[in-house]
Structure 1
Amino acid sequence: MVRTPLTPEERERGARLGQLLRDARGARSMVEVAASAGISDETLRKIETGRAPTPAFFTVSALAGVLGLSMDEIAGLCTPVPV
């Protein structure tokens, strides 16, 4: 299966999500947060660095719960501003 290339907006949204998660994680280790969310630390690393800019809903939801973020907050902060 060939994956459709990401749009610039999807890449921007992924970058915003990664930054938001890094900020919310603070001093906690990536391994600690990932384990608490039930994902691998490599998955969290990819999301935080933008290498996985479109993670699954349930992955984002699990991270939101661990980091004390609401899904509305994530959606609002990760939506690109129209030009």
Structure 2
Amino acid sequence: MVRLPLTPAEVERGQRLGALLRRARGERSMLLTALDAGVSPETLRKIESGRVATPAFSTIAAIADVLGLSLDVVWAEINQPERAAAPARLAS
């Protein structure tokens, strides 16, 4: 199967997702976060670095759940242009 190249908008959205997850993870270890979410540490590292710009929904849902992020917050954050140092809102 041939994958089409990502558009610049998809790449940018992947970078925003990675930044959001890194901020939400804070001081928590990448290893523990990945294991708690049921993904490999390598997968989490690639998502956080923006190297995987379009991860599977179930992967993002699992990571967001572990980090206490609502999917509404994730969706809103990744679909807006980069905002200057806007902190991620955690779900209550």
| TM-score, normalized by the shorter chain, greater than 0.5 | yes
TM-score under structure 1 length normalisation: 0.95
Residue pairs, 1:17-56, within 5 angstroms: 17-56=17-56
**Residue 67, structure 1, aligned to residue 58, structure 2:** no
For the residues of structure 2 that align with 1:15 and 1:52, how far apart are their CA atoms?
Answer: 9
Higher helix proportion: 1
How far 1:2 moved relative to its partner? 1.2
**Cα–Cα, structure 1 residues 80 and 6, in superposed 2: closer, same or farther, change >3 Å?**
farther
Task: Report the equivalent of 2:13.
Answer: 13
Matched letter for residue 36 of structure 2: S
Identity across the alignment (%): 60
Root-mean-square deviation over aligned CA pairs: 0.7
SS at match of 1:35: helix
For the residues of structure 2 that align with 1:5 and 1:53, how far apart are their CA atoms?
Answer: 11
- Give the unaligned 5+ runs of structure 2: 82-92
TM-score under structure 2 length normalisation: 0.86
Superposed structure 1 runs of 4+ greater than 4 Å apart: none
For the residues of structure 2 that align with 1:17 and 1:47, how far apart are their CA atoms?
Answer: 8
- Give the unaligned 5+ runs of structure 1: none
